[in-house]
Structure 1
């Protein structure tokens, strides 16, 4: 499971804010955030096992994020990699609405998933069990279920996101990274940051898109023991 928090058109200076934790097995090989050599317009981390990504942006400001879904068929594997969905959209020619329709028609080829796309001020969402939908504003979250499905982890994350938006720290990337690093447990529900020997939060990411047209993307990686690894930051013009 992963955690994605999104503030869409909630602040005049930052029309898009994304704060996300990637939770994964520590043994799964991963390439950190960067521009891909074989796809120079794509800025993302890379899953070296299946070749896709969980969160990425393209030059021009398009964004894609994909998560698995905790549900009735745990561990179900599809014919195609879920991470390929984000790559295909970010490097393709279809707009977000068109791509979502194509994904919905073939959703059975993938394991349980959520897909979120951002394009031209709109947030598009689709999943294994949810039809395509478009949002133009609001606070949104994904944890174990579909977009905006209430889960304690999502609700705690959104409460923290709201506090940042209402403070003087709204434009400070470190404020969102601090939120994502919260290890306070609400047993039996997990904390925002998952710590485990075999499985846990591998990296935290913050994306801020400004009203002036720039986009910053910072990724902080973590070791299996929860200590900080490398922090990478990039900025592009949308």
Structure 2
């Protein structure tokens, strides 16, 4: 996952709304969103190279999403797969979201840079309890208060142009529609508007590459947006996870929708 918007208890009708894009090299083997063979209660895409996932949901109300932190620090070759951070949380239902991130915080140096959000449904209070942690932040894991959040390849709510643009569009969608249209969310996620040169972040990439990556939806022959995900959980208790996959030209190739609750 390379950019994700999260609305947490921001509207009484929608305890949780997540819309996100996964950017990756087109050559990296991937399975589209589906129930996992080893645990059909988990629904999400799979990275076939390392076995993890970037975003997945458990039918009992747990979820995890991950973005890489772009710092260009060289890998040692001994790091663990970041995709396992999501997979392990969903596979171990005995560990709370808070306790899981506390544990990961103690192991943060075993991974390259990452941002991780995990959450679980709290039936007693009819809400999602969500927590955020980055191993490139000096902060301990934090609990997310009700509100709107955007996460790309820097810390939570960093106002990169692509992040601000996507958050503004999706937040307006949440605040102005009684029933959120998934196609409207997909349209915002497919925004290919690039940032002007003077607003580009300086992450160490060549300026041409930095600009390529500055749009919410990325299209290039070798690297780009592979899929979009939308998860809607309504106050009535109904939840659906939607995913749309794309080819290297940015064209839709397949679409899936799965009930979660």
TM band (smaller chain): over 0.9
Q: Deviations 1:184-238 (Å, cap 9, x if unpaired)?
A: 222334211001110000000000011111211000000001111100000121x
Identify the residue that residue 105 of structure 1 maps to in structure 2.
106
Alignment of structure 1 residues 221-236 onto 2, 5 Å: 221-236=245-260
Give the number of equivalent residue pairs. Answer: 237
SS of the residue corresponding to residue 176 of structure 2 reads: coil
Q: Match for residue 150 of structure 1?
A: 159
Q: CA deviation at 1:153?
A: 1.2
Q: Which moved more, 1:169-178 or 1:16-25?
A: 169-178
Number of the residue aligned with 1:88? 88
1:31-50 maps to which residues of 2 (within 5 A)?
31-50=31-50
Given the two structures, how large is their TM-score scaled by the length of structure 2?
Answer: 0.87
1:209 aligns with 2:233: yes
Comparing 71-80 and 175-184, the one that deviates more: 71-80
Matching residue within 121, 132, 141 for 1:125: 132
Residues 189-204 of structure 1: matches in 2 within 5 Å? 189=200, 190-204=214-228
Q: Helix, strand or coil: the match of 1:145?
A: coil
SS at match of 1:157: helix
Shift of 1:167: 2.2
Of stretches 180-189 and 120-129 in structure 1, the one that deviates more from structure 2 is: 180-189
Once structures 1 and 2 are overlaid, which stretch shifts more, 165-174 or 224-233?
165-174
Q: Which moved more, 1:87-96 or 1:113-122?
A: 113-122
Asked if 2 retains the 8 angstrom alpha-carbon contact of 1:76 and 1:111, the reply is no
Matched, 1:8 2:8: yes
Question: What is the alpha-carbon root mean square deviation over aligned residues?
Answer: 1.5
How far is 1:143 from its partner? 1.0
Unaligned 5+ segments in structure 1 are none
Q: Deviations over 1:131-164 (max 9, x none)?
A: 2000121110111201112211111111101221
The CA distance in 2 between the partners of 1:91 and 1:33, in whole Å, is: 16
Deviation at 1:78, TM superposition (A): 4.9
Whole-angstrom distance in 2 between the partners of 1:125 and 1:5: 13
Q: Structure 1: which 4+ aligned runs deviate by more than 3 Å?
A: 74-78
CA contact (8 A) 1:206 1:219 kept: yes
* Offset of residue 79 of structure 1: 2.3
Q: 1:164 touches 1:170 (CA, 8 Å); kept in 2?
A: no
Q: Which runs of 5+ in 2 are unaligned?
A: 123-127, 201-213
Return the index of the structure with the highest Cα Rg.
2
CA contact (8 A) 1:123 1:135 kept: yes
C-alpha distance 43-196 of structure 1, shift in aligned 2 (>3 A):
same
Give the corresponding residue for 1:61: 61
Q: Distance in 2 between matches of 1:182 and 1:45?
A: 22
Which of the numbers 167, 175, 197 marks the counterpart of 1:166? 175
